[in-house]
Structure 1
């Protein structure tokens, strides 16, 4: 059913590709969280023109596929603006922009869950707008939106499979290349599935632990 000798032969290539996929995912998700937090605060405070720009950004990237973004960045920019980006840069940029839109919605739901009395208390002690964001709004909002943030992280990691569209060296592309070059399909698909599971399954347990911890801290249980 499976050729273990073949699996041992291609395993180093899968490990290398998985590390690259993890690196792009980690940096992209980190950037997405920062973008999402910034957009959610701008939208919440309705900051002049910036709130409209943020809303347009969130609406556009939430309603268009990552594949379209990658095609435009990787194939469109060189022709339109003579800007050529590497596979890693394109993948990172596409994942960050897509993820930022989803993270913004997650943070927005968390901010809306913060009690109004918390805002009134912050104003009463003389905190300015950004001090309230730093010390009151975001810490509590994060505790509410941990499940949504975690789900978005898993979603973004799985979206890395779309990188095959720009012929990269991620784990999905490596598996497809081996299959196209005559490698056994079952063996390569097994390694591909295990590559994703070995990341996602531990992350689910970590997310569950973090969620319980923030809830205990919030309600004092």
Structure 2
């Protein structure tokens, strides 16, 4: 589920950051409202709303689908901030030069802004990936079987609190430490690519 949530959040975040970067007036306002709403409400409340309120208006979602949508909604706003930071790091003279030779916004994005902006965004994106994986522990409130939910089930059935929590910590460490090492390696590669070192 984390995989789908992170991919969806990245797509939504990139879209929102492009809307804000290229200053599309009406869409920019909508993107800004989405980012503020998403970042200023807890994921727990967002999950409850998606899982329990949507059926009231006729939209019935499974717990897993609700979890993925919640992760995309929350993660998209954080990814938008990461991408926006990278896009804003692109030298404005290059953007103005592209406009001067007649490049459209799409061409500017594809050939000038996106390649440089993405490499500048990698450290923030990496931090967001780790953050979003850790946020999946909240999914236990809507009964999604993930690491935390499994540990709590073991505690409830066998009363092995210490062992279950230790295994939970080890489980997250097994997932997150190698991922963190991989993302740090990607950050270094992106940094060298972005700055030509």
Return the TM-score normalized by structure 1.
0.86
Q: Which residue of 2 aligns with 1:187?
A: 163
Q: Which residue of 2 aligns with 1:18?
A: none
Larger Rg: 1
Aligned counterparts, 1:2-41, within 5 A: 24-41=1-18
Bigger relative CO (Cα 8 Å, ≥ 6 apart): 1
Q: Which residue of 2 aligns with 1:56?
A: 33
Q: Distance in 1 between matches of 2:80 and 2:62?
A: 27
Q: Secondary structure at the match of 1:181?
A: helix
Q: Secondary structure at the match of 2:58?
A: coil
Q: Which residue of 2 aligns with 1:65?
A: 42
Shift of 1:183: 3.6
Shift of 1:96: 0.4
Q: Distance in 1 between matches of 2:6 and 2:188?
A: 22
Q: Which residue of 1 aligns with 2:78?
A: 102
Equivalent residue pairs, number: 197
Q: Secondary structure at the match of 2:158?
A: coil
Aligned counterparts, 1:68-83, within 5 A: 68-79=45-56, 81-83=57-59
Q: Secondary structure at the match of 2:145?
A: coil
Return the TM-score normalized by structure 2.
0.96
Q: Which runs of 4+ in 1 moved over 4 A?
A: none
Superposed CA RMSD in Å reads: 1.1
